[in-house]
A and B are shown apart, each in its own frame.
Chain A
Amino acid sequence: MSGAAHPLVCRDLSISFGGVKAVQGVSLALPAGKVLALVGPNGAGKTTLFNLVTGNLRADAGEATLDGESLLGLKPWQVARRGVARSFQDLRLFTHMTVRENAMSATERGSWFWQAGDAKARAARVEEALAATGLSDLAESRAVDLAYAERKFLSMARILAAEARIWLLDEPASGLDLSSRQRFAGLLRAANARGITICLIEHNLDVVAELADEIAFLDRGVVLAVGEPQAILRDKALAAIYFGERAA
């Protein structure tokens, strides 16, 4: 479960907050160039799992590797520079910057006065990201002035412009209408076609059924099942947990 077939792998990852075992012994491998959907009820530990991988939280135990090299102990910016991009459930846009500046900033990793790489290529990547997310006409608007769906797409534009190999997306499609969701699906498929590996947290099972190549079902910090979408989505026991009909 590593190497070319599974670039990002977690083994027995665990973390507790006080008494809450938010993630307990999670092992998971993202299939290369595919979409793995992470589903599970509220508080299952999905976002926490992302935070462990990206260095925002320190694991109590376990391991996370990218191409066989450990990610644990790295700072979030170091994980990002290794090619892992993430979005946030609450978006965290650069609110007082324009749409274009938001995307531009995603191409600029240098902390000081200069940026590595060709400025023209970076600018082109920004325009591509804006076009792909349908934001070209809003390029000069400030993020704070955007409508809900536009904000969600701006968060995606930053990911696109960042040029990462792994995308960790935290509920990027929640609350999108049908046509926006189609545009969103197009983004993911195009990314997969370019070899990008995606982990998608998503509550809407229709979206999951449409986009996922594989599903991991997380509940109370534990992976209950991983597998083909059809198998997982038909599982009655999982459905009962998901829709809150769990026996005490």
Chain B
Amino acid sequence: MTAYLANLATLAAIFGILAATLNVAVGYAGIFSVAHAVFFGLGAYAGAQLALLVVPDALLAMVVAALVAGGLSLCLALPALRVRGEYFVAASLGLQMMATTLFTEAKGLTGGMGGLVGIPRPMILGVEVPTLALALTALVLILLATWLMARGSFGRTLRAIRDAESAAEALGKNINAAKALAVAFACAGAGVAGALFALHMSFVNVESFTLDQSVLIMAMVIVGGTGTLWGPLLGAVLLLSLPAGLSFLPFIPPTEIGAVQQILYGAAMTLLMIFRPAGLLGDMRTGRKA
């Protein structure tokens, strides 16, 4: 039971990181991406390969994963951010679909459908460390970074861009540079989550990095409250515990859990958007018609 809870807590922390970092793009900068799982995957593969081929050092794995995911996102975001909001969503959707195929086909790097197996336990300076401690520490640091960023001038710049891009630009802000930095931060965070995920599961394959996963992360952000510090974390915990909670209910046959879960997700999202459009922790005054 302890192992079960520790596993759940580790996953909650990892998905908390994913939701919190996606929130920097969606909630603060108003950049809607449905490709967050791509960068989660890049980080996972990078971290896994590093552990498998070089050294199972957790810190190194996270740093490399952050650099790979953040760096690639920057290369992709710079051209993609030139397009208007609606088109960016479409572009990120295209990226997600392309990446799923690439992850499946690039067997040398990703192990294809079979994935990468036997990823060694994470160490720091040669000592094995529990992934729960790693994940919680990373989550705290990322939330702290987000909090510092949100209350500083960069957070204000992102919110200004979200509210009125042309006015922000007319005040002398290089909006593409600011957006690119927000995306790189968000995706580097996803990369860290990926490395943690690979080290925790000791197995990764493409199924964790599909469009479904991106949508789930987006749902966590929206359910919890976009543009809030704690909302995405709450969303991650809620949406992760739902399947776990359902499996404890005796009257639902195990084979039906998936379907029940889908229906509950759908119903909860719909009700939430009607009654609390800004999410559970969101500002009640936003999101409604004036």
Interface residues of A (CB under 8 A from B): 54, 56, 75-77, 80-81, 85-86, 88, 92-97, 101, 104-106, 108-115, 142, 144-145, 158, 162
A111-B177 CB under 8 A given contacts A95-B163, A101-B156, A104-B156:
yes
A–B pairs, 19, beta carbons within 8 Å? A56-B166, A76-B170, A77-B171, A80-B171, A85-B171, A86-B170, A92-B164, A94-B163, A96-B286, A97-B160, A105-B153, A105-B160, A105-B171, A106-B171, A108-B153, A109-B171, A110-B153, A111-B181, A112-B154
A94-B159 CB under 8 A given contacts A76-B166, A77-B169, A112-B154:
yes
Known: A85-B171, A97-B159, A114-B153. 8 other contacts (CB 8 A): A94-B168, A105-B156, A105-B160, A108-B153, A108-B156, A111-B175, A111-B177, A144-B290
| A76 x B169 contact (CB < 8 A) | yes
Contact of B157 among A56, A111, A142 (CB under 8 A): A111
Q: How far is the CB of B197 from chain A (nearest CB, A)?
A: 28
Q: State the CA gap A95–B283 with chains docked (Å).
A: 13
Chain A residues near B154 (CB, 8 Å)? 112-113
| A77 x B160 contact (CB < 8 A) | no
| A97 x B166 contact (CB < 8 A) | no
Q: How far is the CB of A32 from chain B (nearest CB, A)?
A: 22
Chain B residues near A88 (CB, 8 Å)? 166-167, 170
| B173 x A108 contact (CB < 8 A) | yes
Q: State the CA gap A178–B152 with chains docked (Å).
A: 38
Residue of B nearest to A84 (CB): B170
Chain A residues near B178 (CB, 8 Å)? 111-112
Q: State the CA gap A77–B167 with chains docked (Å).
A: 10
B149: Cβ under 8 A from any A Cβ: yes
A77-B159 CB under 8 A given contacts A96-B286, A113-B154:
no
Chain A residues near B167 (CB, 8 Å)? 88, 92-94, 158
B172: Cβ under 8 A from any A Cβ: yes
Which range holds the interface residue count of chain B?
Answer: 20 to 34
Q: How far is the CB of B155 from chain A (nearest CB, A)?
A: 10
Which of A56, A104, A111, A112 is most buried by chain B, counting CB atoms within 10 A of its CB? A111
Q: How far is the CB of A229 from chain B (nearest CB, A)?
A: 28
Chain B residues near A111 (CB, 8 Å)? 157, 173-175, 177-178, 181
Chain B residues near A97 (CB, 8 Å)? 156, 159-160, 163
Q: State the CA gap A105–B165 with chains docked (Å).
A: 12
Q: State the CA gap A85–B253 with chains docked (Å).
A: 65
Q: How far is the CB of A81 from chain B (nearest CB, A)?
A: 5
Chain B residues near A109 (CB, 8 Å)? 171-173
Which of A88, A101, A108, A145 is most buried by chain B, counting CB atoms within 10 A of its CB? A108
Which of B156, B164, B172, B178 is most buried by chain A, counting CB atoms within 10 A of its CB? B172
Residue of A nearest to B166 (CB): A92
Q: State the CA gap A114–B174 with chains docked (Å).
A: 13
Contact of A54 among B159, B170, B290 (CB under 8 A): B170
Chain A residues near B172 (CB, 8 Å)? 77, 80-81, 109, 162
Chain B residues near A95 (CB, 8 Å)? 163-164
Chain A residues near B170 (CB, 8 Å)? 54, 76-77, 80, 85-86, 88
Residue of A nearest to B180 (CB): A111
Chain A residues near B174 (CB, 8 Å)? 75, 77, 111
Q: State the CA gap A105–B171 with chains docked (Å).
A: 8
Q: State the CA gap A145–B290 with chains docked (Å).
A: 10
Chain A residues near B283 (CB, 8 Å)? 96
Chain A residues near B177 (CB, 8 Å)? 111-112
Chain B residues near A86 (CB, 8 Å)? 170
Which of B154, B285, B286 is most buried by chain A, counting CB atoms within 10 A of its CB? B154
Q: How far is the CB of B120 from chain A (nearest CB, A)?
A: 36
Residue of A nearest to B179 (CB): A111
Chain A residues near B168 (CB, 8 Å)? 94, 105
Chain A residues near B164 (CB, 8 Å)? 92-95
Q: How far is the CB of B151 from chain A (nearest CB, A)?
A: 10
Chain B residues near A92 (CB, 8 Å)? 164, 166-167
| B157 x A105 contact (CB < 8 A) | yes
Q: How far is the CB of B78 from chain A (nearest CB, A)?
A: 13
Q: How far is the CB of A91 from chain B (nearest CB, A)?
A: 8
Q: State the CA gap A109–B168 with chains docked (Å).
A: 9
Per-position binary interface string of chain B over residues 129-172, scored 1 when its CB falls under 8 Å from any chain A CB and 0 otherwise: 00000000000000000000100111011011011101111111
Q: How far is the CB of A224 from chain B (nearest CB, A)?
A: 28
Q: State the CA gap A197–B177 with chains docked (Å).
A: 30
- Taking CB atoms and an 8 Å cut-off, the chain B residues in 252-290 that contact chain A are 283, 285-286, 290
Q: State the CA gap A83–B171 with chains docked (Å).
A: 10
Q: State the CA gap A104–B155 with chains docked (Å).
A: 12
A96-B163 CB under 8 A given contacts A105-B156, A105-B157, A162-B172:
yes
